[in-house]
Amino acid sequence: SFTGSPVTLKILQNWVPRVSHYFDKEHYTYVGHQIVIQESIEHFGAVVWPGALALSQYLESNQEQFNLKDKKVLEIGAGTGLLSIVACILGAHVTATDLPEVLENLSYNISRNTQNMNMNKPEVRKLVWGEGLNEDFPVSTYHYDFILATDVVYHHAALDPLLATMVYFCKPGTVLLWANKFRFSTDYEFLEKLSKIFNTTVLAEFPESNVKLLKATVREN
Three-class SS of 63-119? CCCCCCCCCEEEEECCCCCHHHHHHHHCCCEEEEEECHHHHHHHHHHHHHHHCCCCC
SS3 at position 218: strand
pLDDT of amino acid 19: 45
pLDDT of amino acid 23: 45
pLDDT of amino acid 136: 95
Residue 164 identity (one-letter amino acid): A
SS3 at position 14: coil
113-133 mean pLDDT:
92
pLDDT at 139 over 50: yes
Q: What is the pTM of this model?
A: 0.90
pLDDT of amino acid 46: 67
Please give the share of the chain, as a percent, with pLDDT higher than 70.
89
pLDDT of amino acid 21: 41
d(CA 181, CA 154): 8
pLDDT of amino acid 80: 93
Q: Using one digit for the tens of pLDDT, what is the confidence trace for 63-113?
A: 999 999 999 999 999 999 999 999 999 999 999 999 999 999 999 999 999
pLDDT at 218 over 50: yes
Domain formed by 7-13+44-218, architecture: 3-Layer(aba) Sandwich (3.40)
d(CA 77, CA 81): 9
Q: Please give the C-alpha separations between residue 125 and each of 44, 101, 104, in angstroms, as whole numbers.
A: 18, 11, 10
127-144 mean pLDDT:
95
pLDDT, averaged across the chain: 89
Confidence label for 193 from pLDDT (cuts 50, 70 and 90): very high
pLDDT at 33 over 60: yes
pLDDT at 12 over 80: no
Q: Which of 155, 201, 209 is nearest to 178 (CA)?
A: 201
